[in-house]
């Protein structure tokens, strides 16, 4: 949260991020990858961070891990991990915490695992770095971890190289390495990318089971709303490096408060019911983080800017509480307009006030349609607004 919530500290908060900003100086200009992100995460709970590519999800997680380094990186704000501030902490202290107190499952395990060393050696190295044990003890621990994450014949496969593992097994090995020191915070960055749906379900079940066993706080970063519907207690929706919406999972899916979240839900395929209409994509593309639009960064793609009297074009919306306690959205729409619009969308009809967004308008003859499919007043939305259940989570 921001502003009014920045000073609050949850007594049980394992992680609290306050006004985090991560900017990169490039030849083309200043890239504001993360621009004022705030949230909290308690022990034993899961936070899902969702958004399109380039919204700042992975940079946020790398900032927490202290991996955004270099002379062209500018980091400000506060990151509190179990009462210890990390942004101002010495790099040596952050390295001590990384692996022991917090760990991360990276997007692509094949590129994250070193090809010259066996999987076992890499887990053993990570474990011995934070624990004063012999190689024999560390090897036994690594075999136990590989077995716990579902690797068959772990005493044999521990001596295999990453290329000898399948995609799902490499992901399991990465999870084993991340959990080798029993971290209190686990960040999973796209843990199911490029995996088939069966293996995806197994990996998600594994993360959930291990969280229950170790009592860790977990952050799941993904494009897949089905994944966060299955695992997350709270959801953070990011857009253009900022927080668009933040709240409990049941609030985000059942009563979302931001047009961007409406678009994400409306463009998601459903597996648990018959579909009679085409999905409606969000028109346009995410903005450049060097040249973020003035005002609300989503306004060039939003169909409801006409209801705000021009505020969307010039004034950056603050993250404020909407609908339920603890549910926040950064939007200029009034509570009455938001409630009415979502009621119409959830009923399957595009509101009469909806306009073709600026990024959906093209000159004739370009070969591009002027609006997304079915984007007409009174037309069915095609499923937006229905609460996503775990049974329909395998998108």
Span 108-149, pLDDT tens digits: 888 889 999 999 999 999 999 999 999 999 999 999 999 988
Number of domains composing the chain: 2
362 part of a folded domain: yes
Residues 178 and 295 placed together within one structural domain of the fold: no
Range of the structural domain that residue 313 is part of:
267-392
Domain shared by 273 and 177, yes or no? no
Across the chain, mean pLDDT equals 84
Are 377 and 278 found together in one domain?
yes
- Please report, for the chain, how many H helices and E strands are present, in that order: 13, 12
Name the residue with tokens 């197994």: 202
- Does residue 158 register a pLDDT over 60? yes
Domain presence at residue 67: no
Residue 287 CA: distances (Å) to CA of 32, 274, 283, 297, 316: 11, 34, 12, 8, 15
Q: Is the pLDDT of residue 375 over 80?
A: no
Average pLDDT in the 348-365 region? Answer: 68
> In which region does residue 75 sit, left (phi positive, over 0), alpha (psi from -120 to 50) or beta (all else)?
beta
Full DSSP string of 344-382? HHHTT---TT----GGG---TTSSS-SS-TT-STT---S
Cα distance between residue 245 and residue 47, in whole Å: 13
Asked if the structure places residue 227 within a domain, the reply is: no
Q: Is residue 155 part of a domain?
A: yes
pLDDT at 387: 39
Residues facing 187 on adjacent strands = 104, 219
Is the domain of 386 the same as that of 272?
A: yes
Q: What is the predicted pLDDT for the residue at 363? A: 40
Q: What is the pLDDT of residues 195-204, one digit of tens each?
A: 778 877 888 8
Of 191, 14, 29, 163, nearest to 101 (Cα)?
14
Q: Is residue 388 part of a domain?
A: yes
- In-domain check, residue 337: yes
pLDDT of 202 reads 82
- Comparing 278 with 352, the larger pLDDT belongs to 352
Please state, in angstroms and as integers, the Cα–Cα distance from residue 46 to each residue in 40, 187, 366, following that order: 11, 10, 45
**Residue 51 located in a structural domain:** no
Exposure of 337 by Cβ count < 10 A (0-12 exposed, 13-18 middle, 19+ buried)?
A: middle
Q: Where are the alpha helices (DSSP H) in 179-232?
A: 197-214, 225-231
Give yes or no for residue 283 having a pLDDT over 80: yes
What's the rounded Cα separation, in Å, for the pair 105 and 256? 29
- Helix 119-130 × helix 135-148 angle, to 10°: 120
DSSP symbol at 183: -
**What's residue 312's pLDDT?**
94
Residue 277 has a pLDDT of 65
Model confidence, pTM: 0.84
In a domain? residue 232:
no
Residue 356: per-residue pLDDT: 77
């Amino acid at each position: 949260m921001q502003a009014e919530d920045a000073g609050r500290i949850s007594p049980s908060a394992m992680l609290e991020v306050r006004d985090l900003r991560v900017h990169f100086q490039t030849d083309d200009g200043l890239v504001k990858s993360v621009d004022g992100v705030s949230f909290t995460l308690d022990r034993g709970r899961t936070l899902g961070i969702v958004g399109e590519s380039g919204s700042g999800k992975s940079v946020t997680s790398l900032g927490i891990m202290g991996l955004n380094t270099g002379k062209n990186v500018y980091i400000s704000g506060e990151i509190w991990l179990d009462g210890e501030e990390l942004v101002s902490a010495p790099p040596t202290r952050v390295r001590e915490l990384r692996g022991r107190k917090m760990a991360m499952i990276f997007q692509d395990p094949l590129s994250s695992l070193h090809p010259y060393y066996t999987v076992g050696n890499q887990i053993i190295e990570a474990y011995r770095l934070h624990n004063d044990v012999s190689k024999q003890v560390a090897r036994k621990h690594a075999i136990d971890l590989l077995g716990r994450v579902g690797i068959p014949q772990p005493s044999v496969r521990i001596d295999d190289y990453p290329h000898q593992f399948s995609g799902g097994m490499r992901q399991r090995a990465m999870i084993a390495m991340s959990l080798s020191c029993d971290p209190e915070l686990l960040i999973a960055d796209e843990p199911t990318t490029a995996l088939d749906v069966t293996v995806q379900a197994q990996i998600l079940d594994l993360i959930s089971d291990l969280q229950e066993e170790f009592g860790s706080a977990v952050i799941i970063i993904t494009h897949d709303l089905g994944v966060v519907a299955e695992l997350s207690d709270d959801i953070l929706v990011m857009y253009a490096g900022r927080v668009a919406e933040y709240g409990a999972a049941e609030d985000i899916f059942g009563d979302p408060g931001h047009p961007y979240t409406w678009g994400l839900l409306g463009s998601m395929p459903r597996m648990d019911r018959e579909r009679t209409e085409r999905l409606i994509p969000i028109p346009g593309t995410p903005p450049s983080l060097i040249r973020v639009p003035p005002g609300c960064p989503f306004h060039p793609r939003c169909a409801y800017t006409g209801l705000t009297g021009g505020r969307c074009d010039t004034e950056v919306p603050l993250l404020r509480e909407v609908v339920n306690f603890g549910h926040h959205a950064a939007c200029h729409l009034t509570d009455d307009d938001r409630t009415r619009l979502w009621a119409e969308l959830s009923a399957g009809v595009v509101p009469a006030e909806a306009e073709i967004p600026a990024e959906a308008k093209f000159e004739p003859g370009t070969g591009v349609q002027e609006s997304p499919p079915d984007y007409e007043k009174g037309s069915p939305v095609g499923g937006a607004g229905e609460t996503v259940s775990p049974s329909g989570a395998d998108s």
